[in-house]
Structure 1
Amino acid sequence: MTPFAGHPIVVAVVPHQPELVALTAASWSRAAGGVAVYFAYVDPTRFTVEEHPDGTVRHAEIDPDTVDDSWAERQKQIEESLAQVLGNSGVPWEFRYLAGRPDRALTHLARAVDAAAIVVGTRAPGTGARFREAVEGSIAVQLSHHQHRPVLVVPLSIVDWKTPLWR
């Protein structure tokens, strides 16, 4: 087990994700003594060509006949969103654009930076997200089964247990 104090955390983010995941990570950072937070987006439409010791990767398109640079705009958008959410929080953070399977990419980053834990949000609400999770599986579950770091799962929507689920 990696001690929480003095060790960074890795946080999985996706475009247009509620701010709660980043805010939870910032709160954890402050509670652990101002540790670094490594936010990461894993692009499943690209693959990792080379992994670097600092957790960054060189990635490429799955289809070699396609030229798609939309990933650079996505990276910029996520970084700007994080900068806006974290503002002057005083939390040290960096962003990594990763590729491939989310559980493997996040585990590689966590190993590279010697992270104490990995933070992920729950799935987005809606039928499409439920179907995707049923087919691909839960990243939180995959992480908890395939690496030794604790996984903190941040709920993205409020569940009112007084309301029947079938409504």
Structure 2
Amino acid sequence: MTPFAGHPVVVGVVPGQPELVALTAVDWARAAGAEVFFAFVDTARYTVEERPDGSVRHAPIDPDSVDDAWNDTDAVLRAQLSATLRGSAVPWDFRYLAGRPDRALTHLARTVDAALIVVGTRAHGGGARMREFFEGSVAVHLAHHQHRPVLTVPLQVVDWKEIRAPWAT
């Protein structure tokens, strides 16, 4: 186990994600006296080279495509994080990763000797729910396949009183 005090926090982020994930990670890092490494994992790209600082050189899965859209995603996420963390005294950095999210976040956490990995839940509804059903959630994969604690930040409140069983009419 990596001690919490003074060791970084790795945070999986996606464009348009609620600020709560970043703010939760920064608050945890502030309490631990640590820095935060935010990371987006592009599943449409693969890792060509892993660098000592946790960053990667990546390329599109389709060798015939010229995909520079990742630059836009990188810029959007950096701007989103800068706006969310404006005025925060906690040091942070951003990494654009590629491949499977659980493996990429685990590699980054190992590289920076992180004490914790933070991810958000998926919002209910949408096509991502079916993919998550078959592939499993990133949080579950992380919890089962690496040794660091995983903090999963709920992004939608569930009112258990209003949820009915499928067989109830």
Q: What TM-score range do you get, normalising by the shorter chain?
A: over 0.9
Q: Secondary structure at the match of 2:127?
A: helix
Distance 1:60 1:165, change over 3 A: farther
- 1:19 is matched with which residue? 19
Question: What letter is aligned with 2:4?
Answer: F
Q: Over the residues paired in the alignment, what is the CA RMSD in angstroms? A: 1.1
CA–CA distance in structure 2, aligned partners of residues 27 and 162 of structure 1:
31
Normalising by structure 2, we get a TM-score of 0.95
For residues 109-159 of structure 1, give each alpha carbon's deviation from its aligned partner in whole angstroms, at most 9, with x where no partner exists. Answer: 000000001000011221422112012211011001111000000000011
CA–CA distance in structure 2, aligned partners of residues 55 and 166 of structure 1:
45
In the alignment, structure 2 segments of 5+ residues that lack a partner are none
CA–CA distance in structure 2, aligned partners of residues 42 and 106 of structure 1:
8
CA–CA distance in structure 1, aligned partners of residues 24 and 9 of structure 2:
11
Shift of 1:166: 5.6
Question: Are positions 1:10 and 2:10 aligned together?
Answer: yes
In the alignment, structure 1 segments of 5+ residues that lack a partner are none
Question: What letter is aligned with 1:29?
Answer: A
Question: What letter is aligned with 1:61?
Answer: P
- 1:146 is matched with which residue? 145
- 1:136 is matched with which residue? 135
For residues 71-95 of structure 1, give each alpha carbon's deviation from its aligned partner in whole angstroms, at most 9, with x where no partner exists. Answer: 0010000000000001011111000
Aligned residues with identical type, % of pairs: 68
CA–CA distance in structure 2, aligned partners of residues 125 and 72 of structure 1:
28
- 1:30 is matched with which residue? 30
Shift of 1:41: 0.2
- 2:106 is matched with which residue? 107
CA–CA distance in structure 1, aligned partners of residues 144 and 104 of structure 2:
14
CA–CA distance in structure 2, aligned partners of residues 18 and 158 of structure 1:
13
- 1:161 is matched with which residue? 160
The 5-angstrom pairing of residues 50-69 of structure 1 reads 50-69=49-68
CA–CA distance in structure 2, aligned partners of residues 59 and 136 of structure 1:
23
Write out the 4+ residue segments of structure 1 that deviate beyond 3 Å after TM superposition. none
Question: What letter is aligned with 2:72?
Answer: E
